[in-house]
Chain A
């Protein structure tokens, strides 16, 4: 199993541009998450999904959109990128139950200039 795969690993965007961060998992997990982590800070939940077709806002959803058309994929869309969105983005997945363990991707480092 590859686990959780994020692409790209690095990206530089200009202010006002848009992009999609890709996340896919091959563990048949029902839950998927997107987090952002600013330098020296903890992770903040952007959006999460409990299954295909269902998404919900986390702590910091403004400026982002998500979709979950399949169990495997959970892309994060940035519209009109702003410098405040410069961050490292992590995708994660888990199978919710008593033994919930979330698996994280290696992150996408995004810089908006």
Chain B
């Protein structure tokens, strides 16, 4: 059963912010939200994760709604190299350990 729902594809203009949404309406209190991306059939790459609070690192920002039922990954200034499939994953570290289950993801195309 899918724990997350993401749009199949999105476009973004180069230099603009890319906002990738993810719905996880059945998320439980122990589950973290993780984001990974996969560039052109390479191995996936970790981006960011969070539990309740918004998070920011050198790659992206993660905004989690107050009810935790959805989140948005923000790439502040998208470049052509950000073209990839982005995966949103919910993970219960205490009951599932680190078992990462990937969904279909969102294919982001950054256009010049």
The finding on whether chains A and B are genuine partners in a shared complex, rather than unrelated, reads yes
Indicate the member of B38, B85, B103 with the most A CB atoms within 10 Å.
Answer: B38
Contact A48 B99 (CB under 8 A): yes
Contact A104 B101 (CB under 8 A): no
B4 CB to closest chain A CB (Å) equals 11
B32 CB to closest chain A CB (Å) equals 8
Cβ of B45 under 8 Å from chain A: yes
Query: How many positions in chain A have a CB within 8 Å of any CB in the partner chain?
Result: 29
Query: How many positions in chain B have a CB within 8 Å of any CB in the partner chain?
Result: 23
Contact A96 B43 (CB under 8 A): no
Q: Which residue of B lies closest to A59 (CB)?
A: B101
Cβ of A100 under 8 Å from chain B: yes
Cα distance, A94 to B43, chains bound together (Å) = 14
Cα distance, A15 to B3, chains bound together (Å) = 36
Interface residues in B25-51 (C-beta closer than 8 Å to A): 34, 36, 38, 41-46, 49
Known: A48-B99, A96-B98, A100-B34. 14 other contacts (CB 8 A): A4-B43, A33-B100, A42-B102, A45-B100, A45-B101, A45-B102, A58-B99, A59-B101, A90-B43, A94-B98, A101-B46, A102-B46, A104-B44, A107-B43
